[in-house]
Structure 1
Amino acid sequence: MISINDLSFLIGSRALYDEANWHIKPGDRVGLIGANGTGKSTLLKLIVGEYTPTSGTISMSKDLKIGYLNQDLLSYESHNSILHVAMEAFERQNQLHDEIEELLKKMETDYSDEVLNKLSVKQEEFAALDGYNIEYRANEILAGLGFSSEDQHRPLNTFSGGWRMRVMLARILLQDPDILLLDEPTNHMDLPSIKWLENYLSSFEGAIVIVSHDRYFLDKIVNRIVESRKGKLTSYSGNYSFYVEEKGLRSEIQRGEYKNQQAKIKQEEKLIERFRAKASKAKMAQSRIKALERMDRVEDVDDENPTVNFQFKFTKPSGRHVIRIEHATKSYPAIDILEDAEAVIEKGDKIALIGANGKGKSTLLRMIAGTEPFQGTCETGHNVTETFFAQHQLESLHLENSILEELQSFAPKHTDTELRSLLGCFLFTGDDVFKKIRVLSGGEKSRVALAKSLTTDSNFLILDEPTNHLDIQSVNILIQALQQYEGTFITVSHDRYFLDNIANKIWFIEDKKIKQYPGTYEEYEEWQSKREKSSTNVKDVKKEKPKKEEPKVMSDDVNKQLKKLNTQLKKLEEDIILQKAEVEKFEAEIAKEEVYSNVTKLAETNAKYTQAKDLLIKFHDDWEKLVEEILILED
């Protein structure tokens, strides 16, 4: 389909690509990955012809239809409805539609055979191009991307940037391209829309190239990873998880080859040094010098997975209750967010707040942070000190400060060595720390703001979309930082890998209430899947009931039963939290040297750990059964 041969592309004197090669075949589903600044988006622009290679070639067939989604489409302006904008994909069908309308109008006064024949030809072509179904197809894709029927008739320029990007994606998908080039397609998408896109792309018959930092998304869609690194393109068969494993193996082999070669070089250098001064051995020494110069040097393996080595400290630990929300009611003119809602954040909670866009996640974070007015109360607990991170706070960075100065002014208790260590974790190494904030990209500013948030003396963090603009490596660093953080936090993110690795509780807004699942994101997904299946079965049973059946009135007995079940549910949630702490306690015990090195102690501790874990699993199963009972009674 597309052949890239000996591609070089220079920006000033810097070679973004240096004789890189890559062949995209029909049916390839490729994840194009690499650290920020390695040229992934640039490569897509080279393929579509927006940029011209410095040298080398990019060849493809002339009739290849490319669908290209890039972040520049955010600037597209239109006063037309988003349905109209999406249907711009059907260029020929729209042209035929207009011509048919003109001919029908002309027929009001002209009944000639010429007009009738023209109309017949146009209508046949329109039908052959499935023109009568184009609006239905546009409706279907826009709905999948999260647009309601009412939204589809709103002008494009009334939507925010993230929603506009979805409209552009819909228009591209409707073009039925032979190959899709998607640059960060899940940016600004909520979880339901990401899942819909995964399902759509899974059934897409053409080739796909995706630039993305969402490793779960890549795992679901791609069958090949191409890594952009040091000017080259390296291919790995398999999804992202396979790439991580395979790259680890390749790195081990390369590290071994490097060490062996370095040992050989040192041995040769010793021989040369020993004999080069002797006239009888000078020729041999020169021969060995030339052999060394001609040697293909094996590069050492860079450490691309830095570990966080930083003490996240705060002066005062918080009390048991960090935040208590009571009787919270919040609405906007077009939507009600919360109504008489309640929730509690306790010390040590690591909460992921999830849900579709427009459900009030960021609003709830602002309410907790005290920056959003609402009816009701949000009480902060004893000794709680908080820091609120949101994307708009990037604007509060001091542009004339260097990166290091920005952190020094915010965290004077930390030494320069500590701050530089943290910045190194966020990929600011060496002289990078002296760069001015004003010259940084959006992603780099986001990393600075995150590092700044983590140096705070706060025992409670509020993080709104902290993974936006971060590459996979930076997301991994943030995960490590939050895993080491001993305080409490609540975060909104659409990165499922991130959520699965940092959260011990899931919050979601449903029926204008704040609801909680006491477990990891993976466990929540499994529970939600069962819940949706159970709900569908209940609805199917309802549909089978006779139409004349009187509506069900909830009896006092049912009310009492519901109250009893809800009390049991609350108690069980408390038991789950305590039992999870018990499991983690035994996990920590097993990791101690005095335990694992003693066979008897290890056996005893392992037995207690297994017993505690089995009880936790039972509690989770009981919790799911209780929720299903409550759902059936409420329906």
Structure 2
Amino acid sequence: MILLQANQIARYFGADTLFDNIQMEISTKSRIALVGRNGAGKSTLLKIIAGIDAPDAGTIAKNKTASLGYLAQDTGLDSNKTVWDEMLQAFVEIITMEKRMRELELIISELQPDALNYESVMKEYDRLQHDFSEKNGYGYENEIRSVLHGFGFKEDFYSKNINTLSGGQKTRLALARMLLQKPDILILDEPTNHLDIDTLSWLENYLPTYSGALLIVSHDRYFLDKVVNEVYEISRHKMRYYKGNYSKYLELKAEQLTSEWKAYEKQQTEINKLEDFVARNLVRASTTKRAQSRRKTLEKMERLERPQGDEKSANFLFGIEKVSGNVVLQIEDAAIGYDERILSEPVSVDIRRQEAIALVGPNGIGKSTLLKSIIGKIPFIKGNAILGTNVQIGYYDQEQANLHGTKTVLAELWDEHPTTPEKDIRNILGSFLFSGNDVEKTIPLLSGGEKARVALAKLSMDRENFLILDEPTNHLDIDNKEVLENALIDYEGTLLFVSHDRYFINRIATKVIELSETGSKLYLGDYDYYLEKKKEEEELAALLAEKSSVQQIETEKPKNDFYQNKEQQKIVRNLNRKIIQIEENLATLDTSIAEIEQTMSDTALVDDHMQLMSLNEELETKRTTQEQLLTEWENLSLELEELEEK
């Protein structure tokens, strides 16, 4: 079923067109990625589809019964409630149902079957019970716990006031609440920001089972490959549709471009032949009619535009001024943290020239803290970093704190390299997609992606031989991520970097260091190798835990003591006698209940309300006794089972 249609949507900024003639269709269970360069208008289009902004042209048609949820990038949850109470807000309808059911249960317990409103009350209760069950009324609290656990929130967080949490935690809670609300159309703009790798993995396994439709903007290629099966691309103000995940989209796009070039070249060959024939034969009396016919064919021909391929990408390299020694960095048994609070210990790092080391671990474990400790911004709580010979550090800060708020893009680079000619500075900025008047923009007016490119441009000019990068792919679109990857692969220096982009890690890293509360651990391979080894470790740990449990049971198992066994056998015999007695009583009760039910179904008693009420009371008494005996039987059977296992 179609939930939403975007028809010929356009957005203009004065005389400039951001996009126009946009067509999109969202159906039940759609899994759609919206991709395109930074500045192409992805977030703007999402706001129009979500009904937050109005289009300059075109219409949005939404199914009236379909609910829609929209989460902008970096949106944090602002609430005075506790984490648990705020998550409960996603289930207000179910909680209201539950309260009404409890009210009806009290009413039913006091009603007689012949009461005037008995039937209507029972119907309402049955309907509510059915709807409550359909909406997972018996499991919504477990659902909240599952989602909060997926986002890395333990139970000790549930009672915390949301306004006391960090910005990243509020962002994750906003996404958690949106998932729990389950709108029919869920629109997410960069949902993977601020998520560590474990949470990303959980989310990409959760979303394919989501009950509604998904429309997602993300620059995480692994994530898109696992979650989406349709791709809409905005490029050069237009929209194109591709069926498949992100990798399939790249494949289809390449095939499409090849096909367009073939068609264009074929038509150009035909045009050249026709134009040549007309030029040679138009003035000849014998061939002028044929030439005129060819000219008409040319005039009527619908000429194909020259295929433009991908939009312009950044194009840069990281060079080095001098080569470092073989040993670049050594840290041994250090402790990192702040305000004397240790985040990770012991931390040991040994980096050699031309290695590319990825630093991974959950949010809050101290990855950025370790990088800042290495460059001297945050002191080690214990230990220190020893740099090798001729090591020169270039540092990329994910918060771009090293950019000056009042300077222009041009001044940001030129002031640090005043002897470099302006033309050369402009050429470098041009390779990072800053051209013309763009270089006169001040830093505060830049987007996140533009600031990232300025910071990378500064880094490339410094020509340091040891690059320490904290989330360098944040704010970069996928095409510019690939350019950065290629530049770092060609880099002749040494790399230590933090990233949550698993595709980026896999392409760049030669080793992986995992940071945890118990310190650092080295894995000698790329990200896929790290995942493989982690899986092996988890399987081995589970096997050892199972073996340890069996050994403990064997150790704790009572010795073959005669008197102990004799006493145990006596208890077993007593339990067996009680169980047999209860079973006999239950059999008698079953017969009595069946007889009463048979009597009550006798048509002769239909009008004898007094007799029926008396029988019903007797029936309820016997059923209550039956339930009590069953509970007692279950408890005794469980006790007997535990004794026999010893």
After TM superposition, the score normalised by the length of structure 2 is 0.75
Structure 2 CA distance for partners of 1:383 and 1:283, relative to 1, 3 Å: same
> How big is the shift at 1:465?
0.8
2:31 maps to which residue? Answer: 29
1:446 maps to which residue? Answer: 452
> How big is the shift at 1:369?
1.1
Structure 2 CA distance for partners of 1:221 and 1:193, relative to 1, 3 Å: same
Question: Structure 2 matches for 1:182-331, cutoff 5 A?
Answer: 182-265=188-271, 288=295, 291-292=298-299, 295-304=302-311, 306=313, 308=315, 310=317, 312-331=318-337
> How big is the shift at 1:365?
0.8
On the 8 A contact 2:101/2:125 being kept in 1, the answer is no
Distance (Å, rounded) in 1 between the aligned partners of 2:98 and 2:92: 10
3-state SS in 2 of match to 1:366: helix
Deviates more, 1:21-30 or 1:269-278: 269-278
On the 8 A contact 1:192/1:356 being kept in 2, the answer is yes
The answer as to 2:531 corresponding to 1:525 is yes
**Which amino acid is the alignment partner of residue 187 of structure 1?**
N
Structure 2 CA distance for partners of 1:128 and 1:180, relative to 1, 3 Å: closer
Distance (Å, rounded) in 2 between the aligned partners of 1:159 and 1:195: 23
> How big is the shift at 1:493?
0.6
1:539 maps to which residue? Answer: 545
1:168 maps to which residue? Answer: 174
1:396 is matched with which residue: 403, 413, 421?
A: 403
> How big is the shift at 1:193?
0.2
Deviates more, 1:250-259 or 1:193-202: 250-259
Structure 2 CA distance for partners of 1:492 and 1:25, relative to 1, 3 Å: same
Distance (Å, rounded) in 2 between the aligned partners of 1:117 and 1:248: 64
On the 8 A contact 1:6/1:56 being kept in 2, the answer is yes
Q: What is the percent sequence identity of the aligned residues?
A: 38
2:147 is matched with which residue: 141, 162, 166?
A: 141
3-state SS in 1 of match to 2:468: strand
Question: Structure 2 matches for 1:419-458, cutoff 5 A?
Answer: 419-429=425-435, 431-458=437-464
The answer as to 2:501 corresponding to 1:500 is no
> How big is the shift at 1:433?
3.6
> How big is the shift at 1:236?
1.3
1:90 maps to which residue? Answer: 91
> How big is the shift at 1:414?
5.7
Distance (Å, rounded) in 2 between the aligned partners of 1:149 and 1:384: 45
Structure 2 CA distance for partners of 1:98 and 1:276, relative to 1, 3 Å: farther
Distance (Å, rounded) in 2 between the aligned partners of 1:307 and 1:469: 14
2:41 is matched with which residue: 21, 39, 42?
A: 39
On the 8 A contact 2:18/2:41 being kept in 1, the answer is yes
2:55 maps to which residue? Answer: 53
Distance (Å, rounded) in 2 between the aligned partners of 1:509 and 1:14: 48
Structure 2 CA distance for partners of 1:284 and 1:172, relative to 1, 3 Å: same
**Which amino acid is the alignment partner of residue 393 of structure 2?**
E
Deviations 1:13-32 (A, max 9, x none): 33233212222233332221
Deviates more, 1:358-367 or 1:19-28: 19-28
> How big is the shift at 1:196?
0.2
On the 8 A contact 1:386/1:462 being kept in 2, the answer is yes
> How big is the shift at 1:304?
3.8
3-state SS in 2 of match to 1:316: coil
Deviations 1:257-308 (A, max 9, x none): 3334445555666677789999997997799489548634323323447474
3-state SS in 2 of match to 1:393: coil
Distance (Å, rounded) in 2 between the aligned partners of 1:33 and 1:263: 34
Deviates more, 1:514-523 or 1:90-99: 90-99
Distance (Å, rounded) in 1 between the aligned partners of 2:84 and 2:229: 33
Deviates more, 1:431-440 or 1:162-171: 431-440
Deviates more, 1:150-159 or 1:294-303: 294-303
> How big is the shift at 1:337?
1.8
Structure 2 CA distance for partners of 1:71 and 1:525, relative to 1, 3 Å: same
Distance (Å, rounded) in 1 between the aligned partners of 2:349 and 2:97: 57
1:509 is matched with which residue: 512, 515, 528?
A: 515
1:336 maps to which residue? Answer: 342
Structure 2 CA distance for partners of 1:384 and 1:196, relative to 1, 3 Å: same
Deviations 1:384-428 (A, max 9, x none): 111211123346235332x33322333457665655554344333
2:80 maps to which residue? Answer: 79
Distance (Å, rounded) in 2 between the aligned partners of 1:482 and 1:388: 14
Structure 2 CA distance for partners of 1:545 and 1:424, relative to 1, 3 Å: farther
On the 8 A contact 2:50/2:187 being kept in 1, the answer is no
Distance (Å, rounded) in 2 between the aligned partners of 1:269 and 1:411: 55
> How big is the shift at 1:245?
1.7
> How big is the shift at 1:537?
2.0
On the 8 A contact 2:365/2:517 being kept in 1, the answer is no
Structure 2 CA distance for partners of 1:245 and 1:329, relative to 1, 3 Å: same
1:65 maps to which residue? Answer: 67
On the 8 A contact 2:34/2:232 being kept in 1, the answer is yes
**Which amino acid is the alignment partner of residue 376 of structure 2?**
G
1:379 is matched with which residue: 369, 373, 386?
A: 386
> How big is the shift at 1:463?
0.7
Structure 2 CA distance for partners of 1:138 and 1:244, relative to 1, 3 Å: same
Deviates more, 1:192-201 or 1:367-376: 367-376
> How big is the shift at 1:372?
0.8
Structure 2 CA distance for partners of 1:285 and 1:37, relative to 1, 3 Å: farther
On the 8 A contact 1:223/1:237 being kept in 2, the answer is yes
On the 8 A contact 2:357/2:509 being kept in 1, the answer is yes
> How big is the shift at 1:56?
2.3
Distance (Å, rounded) in 1 between the aligned partners of 2:515 and 2:74: 33
3-state SS in 2 of match to 1:498: helix
After TM superposition, the score normalised by the length of structure 1 is 0.77
Distance (Å, rounded) in 1 between the aligned partners of 2:436 and 2:64: 47
Structure 2 CA distance for partners of 1:129 and 1:483, relative to 1, 3 Å: closer
3-state SS in 1 of match to 2:210: coil
Structure 1, unpaired ranges of 5+: 551-635
On the 8 A contact 1:426/1:474 being kept in 2, the answer is no
3-state SS in 2 of match to 1:400: coil
3-state SS in 1 of match to 2:391: coil
On the 8 A contact 2:316/2:432 being kept in 1, the answer is no
On the 8 A contact 2:468/2:495 being kept in 1, the answer is yes
Distance (Å, rounded) in 2 between the aligned partners of 1:525 and 1:96: 45
Distance (Å, rounded) in 2 between the aligned partners of 1:408 and 1:169: 42
Distance (Å, rounded) in 1 between the aligned partners of 2:137 and 2:41: 39
**Which amino acid is the alignment partner of residue 432 of structure 1?**
D
Which structure's CA Rg is the greater one? 2
> How big is the shift at 1:441?
1.1
**Which amino acid is the alignment partner of residue 407 of structure 2?**
E
3-state SS in 1 of match to 2:415: helix
Distance (Å, rounded) in 1 between the aligned partners of 2:377 and 2:495: 17
Structure 2 CA distance for partners of 1:220 and 1:127, relative to 1, 3 Å: closer
Distance (Å, rounded) in 2 between the aligned partners of 1:527 and 1:417: 50
On the 8 A contact 2:83/2:158 being kept in 1, the answer is yes
On the 8 A contact 1:352/1:493 being kept in 2, the answer is yes
1:13 maps to which residue? Answer: 15
Question: Structure 2 matches for 1:615-634, cutoff 5 A?
Answer: none
Distance (Å, rounded) in 2 between the aligned partners of 1:226 and 1:7: 14
**Cα RMSD (Å):** 3.5
On the 8 A contact 1:100/1:122 being kept in 2, the answer is no
> How big is the shift at 1:505?
1.0
The answer as to 2:473 corresponding to 1:473 is no
Structure 2 CA distance for partners of 1:437 and 1:499, relative to 1, 3 Å: same
Distance (Å, rounded) in 2 between the aligned partners of 1:293 and 1:411: 58
